[in-house]
Structure 1
């Protein structure tokens, strides 16, 4: 048996695939989820809906596959937390989503420790990560039960175990980056010193067994969604990088077995843990990508993302967009920043605005790529890309032009669950090796830069000035 049920439990939906080593992806089931956006920066999900979506999509995918599965793999959101009763598995709070900003007060109190935290954990002190949200939840919602990331709760329902994986633990601000173990000094710093923390497993560990989807099978391949995509796209050597274009954009680059501390405002995390080795990655985030396209749709400028290429102008005619519609992440870390559209005249039309938004997304990713290169000590040679918006040739060409890098489009729509499945396959057959488990792939399209280096540099410089202005304005407000 070689078929793996791999489940990607995400923010806006849960996706389950059954992937067979010989036949590829043989079944797919999806369920939409709608986080609740609250006043004051709150973003919550109903834990019961998360669990139901995992069980429902998994069972539908297994039924559709018409074959037995050998293991279940699970990729998760990374930094979403909840409190729950470890005796019954009952949720004791909503799931506080990674986008939630209500823990800013916790971070403000610990601002003097930011440099220490960066050195110990590789992360920036920001509500994006798990520990500030855990501390906020304990202060404002409940002191009962345990407080963990959602993966631990979901795996407990599947297996009865109390476990997380090294990549998820690495997104918490509680993990010693060098040893990939919990740092009890950091748990004390966040007021979480008395908390029961889950066991940290490698991504290729079998963490338990489940009967949730049929006959009893092992559960393995636990990993954060973006690191799973890094694995699937074959970024297994230092210096290789990928960017996922979804609700936001996430650029990750493999730095090898040495945990580089970013000098450029990026974050460093465990890339995966397998075969007794712990490679690391640096990463940067763009908060609004598909969400910026939805904004264009809400304004009536486009009907759907499928219209982007037909409606985008060939040239923006000087219109420039910084799409900071939900703040700016790395390297500015300016959550209060707002978006800007400049350079408009009476001759400006919607097609110019559409192109400017796409170029603004590409410019922010290009800025991250340059910072990654600084941390690596050498420029990226190319960028691998996945996610729904890679279907926009205009966006991908803009990415190649502005970053001055070839962009290789990943041929499969399910990078995250495919990466988790590869790690589960390694758990079942430790002699296989991750490279063999991932397999080779060829890009569906390669976008080569068409702009001159001078034109690209001039655009990046002008755009960076506009982004700095947005960040400064947000800080001032």
Structure 2
């Protein structure tokens, strides 16, 4: 049996690292903040050096706290964040364009006639959220030098010298043939990227190299996208259930088994993971702003932070007729209207901070309901339960609102760091090939279960108000 492993979750606003022991659980933890720059016009970028430094700082802190050696390393990444870099030196040639960045909208507009073909090939809708539009934008407007990849390939190269990406991350590019899980020559041609040197696509659990960046030599044996890592940690591996992570954005994933699915309801069909050469798939829906919307409200002085959601929301019985569509970075699935801006309606002289808090919680929860409905439409049956994790699950108000509008139980994970735990499980699987997947995963069970507390009719009325606000927002903006 492998000993403790180091699991690193390189996220949008920071990097979390855990040292995980198979018998004793988490024995060391570290965190390092990352501060992306939000610029006018929907631009979001970050210094690549800040990403790499955060990985090293968080990892070293976790190892220092654990005080014992580890046998393997697992790394989770943001998925759609991209940069150009020099493969000879590892030096970044551009800033990293964060997944929220919208500057590649011009690339998508040019490719609009090929949107259906790209969807059939890759399972993904045409949107600058994904990596390939950003890669093409960099080639057209920033540099023709070096290689242009998702951030994981650069991080792995800096750590080990290997030039790889995992199958799940490759599935977030818009360049992967979803059925074969190989690079699509046709997609590359459409994006003008046919001449690019792309990383080798590897399984999510296998040795890819070793690193001394944390001190002693450690083999890197697990790689995955952050949301798929959380899906695995939740033990959500069969159709019928889903998980939602409430982080900077909110991300709902539902497994579909061993067959690739193309959503007809506005979701993303993608690779969940590939283990021992066998690919598993999932449907994915995104809410671009969750914790970032809470931070926005705090920036206005309405609350001090996420910890204020419950006490401030408790000062009023309901939203007072206020409806908040928190499309502060556009609307993702199932609408795919990144051009839209958020809206607050129903304001009056009697509107108090508590009404705004409750309206925000309803706006976030309503978007997750729409994702759940889309999953049900694609799979032909409703979800039985929603398992959730992420920092915002600490808000009882948000979680109760989610259960109320969803009209299904919401199970809050006892795993506050599900993404890192999923990466750690993959590190163990890659280091110990005979290990069964179920034996590598953290033990399940819900810390709290929220049951619906309002009648279905009232939930429907609230959702109708939200949908009407989205429709008004869309009608006021050109498609």
Same fold (TM over 0.5): yes
- 1:196: how far off? 0.3
Deviation at 1:192, TM superposition (A): 0.5
> In 2, Cα distance between the equivalents of 1:55 and 1:399?
36
SS of the aligned residue for 1:278 comes to: strand
Q: Is the 8 A contact 1:16 1:61 kept in 2?
A: yes
Q: Distance in 2 between matches of 1:113 and 1:175?
A: 15
Mapped partners of 1:317, 1:81: distance in 2: 42
1:337 is matched with 340
Cα deviations by residue, 1:84-106 (Å, 9 ceiling, x for unpaired): 11111111111111111111111
CA distance in 1, matches of 2:129, 2:195: 22
- Cα deviation 1:384-406 (Å, max 9, x = unaligned): 01011101101000000001110
Q: Does 1:451 align with 2:454?
A: yes
Q: After the TM superposition, which of the residue ranges 217-226 and 431-440 deviates more from structure 2?
A: 431-440
Residue 404 of structure 2 corresponds to residue 401 of structure 1: yes
Take 1:43 and 1:61, find their aligned partners in 2: how far apart are those partners?
A: 29
Residue 89 of structure 2 corresponds to 88
Find the residue that maps to 1:475 and give its secondary structure: coil
Q: CA deviation at 1:38?
A: 2.5
Distance 1:454 1:394, change over 3 A: same
Question: Within 2, Cα distance between the matches of 1:412 and 1:350?
Answer: 31
Q: Is the 8 A contact 1:337 1:473 kept in 2?
A: no
1:175 deviation in Å?
0.2
Aligned position for 1:380: 383
How does 1:95-106 map onto structure 2 within 5 Å?
95-106=96-107
In 2, are the aligned partners of 1:286 and 1:329 still within 8 Å (CA)? yes
**TM-score, structure 1 length as denominator?**
0.97
CA distance in 2, matches of 1:334, 1:168: 23
**DSSP-derived class of the 2:279 partner:** coil
Structure 1 residue 212 displacement after superposition: 1.7
Aligned to 2:225: 224
Q: How far did 1:323 drift? A: 1.3
Cα displacement (A) at 1:347? 3.0
Task: Provide the rounded CA distance (Å) in 2 between the counterparts of 1:27 and 1:56.
Answer: 13
From 337, 346, 350, give the equivalent of 1:347: 350
> Are the counterparts in 1 of residues 42 and 329 from structure 2 also a CA contact under 8 Å?
no
Gap regions ≥5 residues in structure 2: none
Q: Is the aligned partner of 1:325 residue 2:328?
A: yes
Contact 1:203 1:273 in 2 (8 A): yes
Whether the 8 Å contact between 2:12 and 2:248 is mirrored in structure 1 is no
Please state if 1:265 is matched with 2:272.
no
Q: Deviations over 1:335-355 (max 9, x none)?
A: 121222223333332212211
Structure 2 match to 1:410: 413
Q: Residue 441 in 1 paired to residue 444 in 2?
A: yes
2:164 matched residue in structure 1 = 163
Q: 1:421, 1:402 → 2: CA distance? A: 34
Deviations 1:372-391 (A, max 9, x none): 11111110001001011101
Q: Please report how far the alpha carbon of residue 288 of structure 1 lies from its aligned counterpart in structure 2 after TM superposition.
A: 1.5
Contact 1:338–1:471 (Cα < 8 Å) also in 2: no
Paired with 1:185 and 1:356, the residues of 2 have a C-alpha distance of 44
Does 1:53 find its partner at 2:54? yes
Contact in 1 for aligned 2:102/2:129 (Cα 8 Å): yes
Does the aligned pair in 2 maintain the 1:43–1:99 contact within 8 Å?
yes
1:270–1:278 Cα contact (<8 Å) kept: yes
Q: Where does residue 429 of structure 1 map in the other structure? A: 432
Mapped contact 2:17–2:59 kept (Cα < 8 A): yes
Q: What is the CA distance between 1:307 and its match in structure 2? A: 1.3
1:149 matched to 2:136: no
Contact in 1 for aligned 2:247/2:390 (Cα 8 Å) = yes
Select 2:371's aligned residue among 354, 357, 368: 368
Q: Find the residue that maps to 1:396 and give its secondary structure.
A: helix
From the superposition, tell whether residues 308 and 39 of structure 1 become closer, same or farther in structure 2 (CA, over 3 Å).
Answer: closer
Question: Are the counterparts in 2 of residues 84 and 90 from structure 1 also a CA contact under 8 Å?
Answer: yes
* Alpha-carbon distance in structure 1 between the residues aligned to 2:28 and 2:175: 37
CA distance in 1 between partners of 2:476 and 2:176 (Å): 33
List gaps (5 residues or longer) in structure 1. Answer: none
148-157 vs 459-468, which moves further: 459-468
Three-state SS of the structure 2 residue aligned to 1:185 is helix
Aligned to 1:107: 108
Contact 2:250 2:288 in 1 (8 A): yes
Partner of 1:245: 246
User: What does residue 200 of structure 2 align with?
Assistant: 199
Question: 2 CA distance for matches of 1:226 and 1:38?
Answer: 25
Q: How many residue pairs end up in the alignment?
A: 476
Instruction: Provide the aligned C-alpha RMSD in A.
Output: 1.3
Q: Hey, what does 2:300 align to over in structure 1?
A: 299
**SS of 1:442 mapped into structure 2:** coil
Provide the rounded CA distance (Å) in 1 between the counterparts of 2:297 and 2:156.
Answer: 38
Structure 1, residues 307-328: CA drift from partner, whole Å, max 9, x if none?
1111112222322221112211
- The 3-state SS of whatever aligns with 1:272 is strand
> Is the CA contact (8 Å cut-off) linking 1:335 and 1:474 kept in structure 2?
no
Q: Is the 8 A contact 1:332 1:471 kept in 2?
A: no
- Match of 1:221, SS state, is strand
Match status 1:6 vs 2:7: yes
Q: Which moved more, 1:435-444 or 1:218-227?
A: 435-444
